[in-house]
Chain A
Amino acid sequence: MRYAMAVDTLKCVGCNDCVVACQTENNVPIGYCRDWIVEKTTGSYPELQLEIRSERCNHCANAPCVRTCPTEASHYAEGGIVLVEESECIGCKACITSCPYDARFIHPEGYVDKCTFCIHRVEKGQDPACVAVCPTHCMIFGDLDDPNSDISRAMATRKWKSLIPEAGTDPKVFYLI
């Protein structure tokens, strides 16, 4: 089992629904977010391109945050989902410094917080909240080990990229381009 997510940049309109759905689903305090939107314009008027992406923790298979965590609070859960065990986190921020994607933050209660791929929903066979809410259906979540999963099929048929591949983190969030 290797959980992964693909975000279709051709469909994403950057509406932030994924952000607010995550915030309400996971009771993320106002002022913090576990996912966010990046918009990148290239070219000059009138020859322009715009790429819009919904970004989050990449749930890397070779995660620097897990390696640097002194208390093993950052760990791999089933399917490669990277989680933080709040009770074991001492808030030292080593993981925050080591993450090339800036995906982690200190929760006001003192521990490090980030995207969980909504593991509490995934356990029940539901999609993560961001995937379930997206009006354009631009996100696909599933198991890369299952060749018939929607995500495996999308990765096989579409052109894609991952972010900062040179960091060698083996990210599990992909962008269809």
Chain B
Amino acid sequence: MSISMNRRDFIKIAGVGAGSLAFATPLFDFSTGEILAPDTIPGMYAKRTPTYCEICFWKCAGWVHTNQEGKIWKVTGHEDDPHSNGRLCPRGTGGVGMYNDEDRLKTPLMRTEVNGVQTFREASWDEAFTYIADELKKVAEKHGPECTALFTHGSGGHYFGDLLKAFGSNNITAPSYAQCRGPREVGFFATFGEGVGSPERVDIRDTRCLVLIGSHFGENMHNGPVQEIAQATGKGATIITVDPRFSTVASKSKFWLPIKPATDMALLLAWMHVIINENLYDQAYVEKYTYGFEDLKAHVAQMTPEWAYGLTTIKPEIIRATAREMANASPRVIIHPGRHVTWYGDDTQRLRAVAMLNALLGSWGRRGGFYNPEQVSFKMYPHPPFPKPKRTWKDAYPGKFKLASLALASGICDATVPTTGRDCSFKAWIVNGTNLIHTLPNQANTLKAIQALDLLVVVDTMPMEITGYADVILPECTYLERYDDIRVSAHREPTLALRMPAAEPKYNTKPAWWIAKGLAEKMGLGHFFPWENIEEKLDWELKQVGSSLAEMKRLGVKKMKRSVDDLYPMENLEDFEFNTNTGKIELYSTSMEDEGYDPLPKYKAHEEPPAGFYRLIYGRAPMHTFSRTANNPNLTDLMDENSVWVNPKVAKEWGLKNDQYLWLENQDGVVSKTPIKVRVTERIRFDSVYMVHGFGHTDKKLTRAYGRGASDADLITRVHIDPEMGGTGMRGNFVTFRFEAGEEVSS
């Protein structure tokens, strides 16, 4: 569409000397060889450089737009990117705030003591590296290099991982496994011989019925699924939401099942009962692909909707109606596996039930169900073989967590607290981009582990609670100021995406690759990082897959063709060998049975809140990611504190008013460090309260986040460990209201 300019706007444009020329002729920057596109602010030429987002782990590709002065102006989505489809979520759009945040870590800091008081002093990078190298050497000599661990949650983690492996330890862990999606991967692997992965292989775009159990898309702002849910519902897909809270997506659903928390397994089993007993399952699919159907049929024979009603409070007719709704959409139905699924300690089994329900409805490997993702097979820059560690974290847990496929962050933390029965407790941690104080449950235990360390190095962009406990703090520059590895995540079509700096790093901050390589050189391990600089490394890797750094700088995202046309490998009942013991989809899990776990999921009653207490449920807000965005000026402007959702009946009983501040106290007498505002709302059950995770920061250096809202992590002291894979179930904590602060108020 066109519009003739009126007098006022014409002056605005002409006043800065751009005029109509700007629309016709792109300029060429001879220094960088990049095309400068005239962008959208009148009269302002802007350059755009490719990136992929680091505000959450969906890693949407986008463009960073800089103005004439080279100042970062805005970030927008990349139109060719299957993660974002050209549209970032609010966090990605507000990503520029991470760069502009004046509270950022600015220079290396080292712990020192002045007049008996511990404090941080500024240090040079060389000084910091020398100290770390010396301390790690001491740990290796005294205890072995295996007593070092890396906790990482971010793109830079790969470089620190290589550093650790070169040093002789493979204890590399991300809280995204045992504190988040681990049980899902194990439950699906036991059933289909494959995990769900990230981005999840769910074909929401073409589904006819989406079942969400505790997932609150729209508030949990994973970009792809949120976009696809809007797309699918626009085409008439229905949503069934199971949640004790009337979430945003519940309000868009045909059915909202306000389930009594901790009883989801009963609902899943009853759904399977209905689907089997009413012959609603995909008979050809089940017959061809599955193992153990008769066992399952017998197993759920008594698990009627009437049985489940007494546990879940969901009426039998609703259980039947929703089962039929799913079956009508079959195979284009998704019982979504969720993402943060570490709830009650029997999570692997619950996710097994989710996987089995999908199998009964024939949605795995089918359009509108679960697709078969593909990623570019990517070869990393060659380096000498890493030494083989003599011990791993698993040695601390003989005979336990046998199905864990990745290291457990909580497991390494627990194994850092010295005990007599263990020959190696962890002595040094490198922590990159994860605020373990808020990430791991049971803070007292985390602090105990930290006190037992000889060395704690924290690499981050922001001062966080964990940085306060560090011996050395290394300030990483933000994703807008650095190169990282090429993004090669799996999707419907494979893609490559480049992140490159859009601006020079602010302050004395450095990219992860530079920090890891510098540390390696100081530790005498430089030969494991045999490239001169990151551009040489990335260019070599890209050339192996038919691209180059120059091409990726221009494209940002490169779409590749699938190597095999098997996006929906079971669409027409094609022959397929599953990666399980039986080669079939295992409704009856032989691998679970072999390891001594239940081959068919059982309902187990979980503890209920004592009188006057409410189950603590936590979740996400669309404008924040964990605690890492809590100080971002753009995002705190949208939401700067959390509130506790309370049902009006409960509020009346306690005399609570909207916007009143109070403290929460859990079943173990632990009181939230900061007060939280009350939100009285019909949108939550009377037996639960809800709060958004990531608030309640106690570090004064976070000027916007300090003391705003409360932290659910403070209150998660009781953990139910998943026996199969070590996940930390965190939804078994109960809180009551308190009108004065606890005794230990953080300064």
Contact = CB atoms under 8 A, between A and B. Distances in A.
B218 interface: yes
A8 B463 CA distance: 40
A21 B93 CA distance: 6
Contacts, number: 155
B638 A20 contact: yes
Given A48-B251, A48-B683, A124 B637 contact: no
Contact of A123 (B5, B218, B635): B5
A78 interface: yes
A13 B41 contact: no
A135 interface: yes
A13 B9 contact: no
Nearest to B223: A135
B170 to A, nearest CB: 38
A17 B230 contact: no
B8 A19 contact: no
Contact of B9 (A23, A119, A132): A119
Interface centre among A13, A19, A77 (most CB of B within 10 A): A13
A30 B6 contact: no
A137 B6 contact: no
B74 A24 contact: yes
B623 A20 contact: yes
Contact of A45 (B73, B75, B249, B258): B258
Interface stretch (B84-92, B183-191, B282-290, B576-584): B84-92
Contacts of B233: 10-11
B521 interface: no
Contacts of B516: none
Interface in A95-151: 118-126, 129, 132-138, 142-143
B682 A136 contact: no
B634 interface: yes
Interface in B615-639: 622-623, 633-635, 637-639
Interface string B88-107: 11100110100000000000
Contact of A1 (B3, B622, B633, B682): B3
Nearest to B76: A133
Interface residues of B, number: 59
A165 interface: no
Given A41-B682, A78-B6, A25 B234 contact: no
Given A14-B248, A24-B74, A122 B3 contact: yes
Given A15-B89, A24-B96, A135-B226, A77 B634 contact: no
Contacts of B32: none
Contacts of A45: 246, 258, 647, 682-686
B704 to A, nearest CB: 10
Given A13-B219, A126-B40, A137 B1 contact: no
Nearest to B622: A15
A15 B223 CA distance: 11
Nearest to B1: A125
Contact of A25 (B1, B40, B42, B639): B40
Contact of B89 (A17, A46, A75): A17
A78 B58 CA distance: 40
B256 interface: yes
Interface in B516-539: none
Nearest to A75: B8
A70 to B, nearest CB: 17
A142 B231 CA distance: 20
B230 A24 contact: no
A143 B230 contact: no
Contacts of B87: 17, 132-135
Interface string B1-17: 11111101100000000
Interface in A76-98: 77-79, 83, 85
Contacts of B252: 10, 13
B40 A120 contact: yes
Interface string B193-229: 0000000000000000000000001110101001101
A143 B9 CA distance: 20
Contacts of A129: 40
A13 B248 contact: yes
Contact of A135 (B3, B23, B227, B251): B227
Given A19-B90, A24-B73, A41 B683 contact: yes
A125 B74 CA distance: 19
Contact of B634 (A13, A20, A119, A121): A20
A143 B2 CA distance: 11
Interface string B130-149: 00000000000000000000
Interface string B56-80: 0000000000000000011111000
Contacts of A137: 227, 230-231
A19 B76 CA distance: 14
A23 B290 CA distance: 53
Nearest to B231: A137
A85 to B, nearest CB: 5
B93 A50 contact: no
A157 interface: no
B73 A77 contact: no
Contacts of B226: 13, 15, 135-136
Contact of B218 (A10, A14, A24, A43): A14
B681 interface: yes
A52 interface: yes
A125 B40 CA distance: 11
B259 to A, nearest CB: 11
Given A23-B637, A30-B634, A136-B227, A49 B93 contact: no
A78 B648 CA distance: 49
A62 interface: no
CB-based closest 10 A-B pairs: A13-B218, A50-B251, A136-B230, A15-B622, A17-B90, A24-B74, A20-B94, A45-B682, A16-B638, A78-B3
Given A48-B256, A133-B93, A142-B1, 20 more contacts: A1-B3, A15-B89, A15-B226, A17-B90, A17-B93, A19-B638, A20-B93, A21-B90, A21-B93, A24-B96, A30-B633, A43-B682, A49-B251, A119-B3, A122-B1, A123-B5, A124-B40, A136-B227, A137-B230, A143-B1
Interface of B: 1-6, 8-9, 23, 40-42, 73-77, 87-90, 93-94, 96, 217-219, 221, 223, 226-227, 229-231, 233-234, 246, 248-249, 251-252, 256, 258, 622-623, 633-635, 637-639, 647-648, 681-686
13 contacts: A13-B248, A14-B248, A15-B90, A24-B74, A41-B682, A45-B246, A45-B685, A75-B8, A77-B6, A78-B3, A123-B3, A136-B227, A137-B227
